[in-house]
């Protein structure tokens, strides 16, 4: 299946820089560039459309959606699971993750339950998606939120994350498993199963396939792109997950006495190179997601 995004020149330049070592075609007819990597082909057209093809197409499509803050194609309007008329405080378990686009630091996933009994306290905190909140505000809000709502928080440390990637898992399959486990934990705390909402990072059929070997897997009732904007439960989960990621990144930074940068890009490449020079390449396995192109770019600096 092909996945397509429409980008502006700045966003296209970011992708070109990220994959510059993998460009096989450049400025040929209607094609700005064609990028080929293992299990992935990215074609960038002069129309500013970017097409992702191959086994890793879906994973990489959603990765760039998150990294660039893009809005993917709208879900099917007939799909009741994406009904925008649903109240923000609709009783539900929502789940979201943090750290997936950050080279340094772990992958964290949180699930949280919200119903009418939480509305008054949550409204005072002005809950929003963590992507719209400054890290300092997240550090202030998250502990308060965690005292109000039933929740579950899971962290996949870098060393374990890297080992699983080498075994053949991908970032989305790992996220699916963690989302499922966090949702199950909250359901167990509640003693009931309300609607389960997930901030969509893959197609439903792919998500279900990821969990086919999981016993008593929870399949969300609602898959919604940018669910954190429509459901308080997901917005809260995003805040808790980001808070946990920030704390873990702080600890890793303290451990090596280096303030690790968030995200990915040129500055992160340079910092990774400095860490290799100072501690050896093996250190990256403990503090970074080594399958990122950052690792290779850092080694080549």
- Would you place residue 225 in the very low, low, confident or very high pLDDT band (cuts 50, 70, 90)? confident
Model pLDDT for residues 21-76, shown as the tens digit of each residue: 889 888 888 899 999 988 899 999 999 999 999 888 888 888 888 777 765 444 43
What are the residue ranges of CATH 3.30.310.10 in the chain? 3-68
The pLDDT of 98-120, averaged and rounded, is: 93
37 three-state secondary structure: strand
CATH fit for domain 91-251, picks 3.40.640.10, 3.30.420.10, 3.40.228.10, 3.30.499.10: 3.30.420.10
Mean pLDDT of the chain: 88
Length of the chain, please? 301
What are the residue ranges of CATH 3.30.420.10 in the chain? 91-251
141 close to 253: Cβ distance less than 8 angstroms: no
285 close to 279: Cβ distance less than 8 angstroms: no
The pLDDT of 183-197, averaged and rounded, is: 96
Q: Tell me which CATH code domain 3-68 carries.
A: 3.30.310.10
| Cβ-based neighbours of 53, under 8 Å, separated by 6 or more | 2, 3, 40, 41, 42, 43
């Amino acid at each position: 299946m092909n996945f397509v995004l429409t980008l502006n020149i700045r966003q296209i330049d970011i992708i070109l820089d990220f994959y510059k070592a993998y460009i096989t075609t450049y400025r040929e007819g209607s094609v700005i560039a064609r990028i080929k990597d293992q299990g992935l082909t990215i074609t960038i057209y002069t129309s500013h459309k970017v097409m992702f093809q191959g086994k890793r197409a879906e994973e990489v499509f959603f990765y760039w959606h998150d990294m660039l803050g893009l809005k993917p194609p709208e879900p099917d309007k007939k799909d009741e699971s994406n009904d925008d008329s649903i109240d923000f405080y609709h009783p539900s378990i929502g789940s979201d993750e943090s750290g997936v686009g950050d080279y340094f630091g772990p992958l964290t996933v949180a699930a949280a339950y919200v119903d009418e009994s939480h509305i008054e306290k949550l409204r005072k905190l002005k809950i929003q998606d963590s992507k719209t909140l400054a890290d300092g505000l997240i550090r202030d809000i998250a502990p308060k939120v965690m005292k109000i709502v039933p929740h579950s928080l899971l962290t996949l440390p870098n060393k374990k994350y890297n080992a699983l990637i080498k075994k053949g898992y991908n970032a989305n399959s790992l996220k699916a498993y963690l989302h499922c486990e966090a949702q199950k934990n909250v359901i167990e705390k509640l003693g009931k199963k309300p609607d389960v909402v997930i901030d969509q990072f893959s197609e439903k059929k792919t998500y279900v396939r990821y969990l086919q070997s999981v016993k008593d897997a929870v399949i969300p009732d609602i898959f919604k792109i940018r669910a954190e904007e429509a459901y308080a439960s997901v917005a809260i989960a995003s805040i808790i997950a980001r808070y946990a990621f920030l704390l873990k990144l702080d600890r890793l930074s303290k451990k090596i006495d280096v303030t690790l940068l968030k995200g990915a890009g040129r500055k992160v490449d340079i910092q990774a190179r400095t860490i290799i020079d100072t501690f050896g390449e093996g250190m990256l396995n403990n503090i970074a997601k080594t399958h990122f192109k950052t690792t290779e770019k850092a080694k080549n600096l």
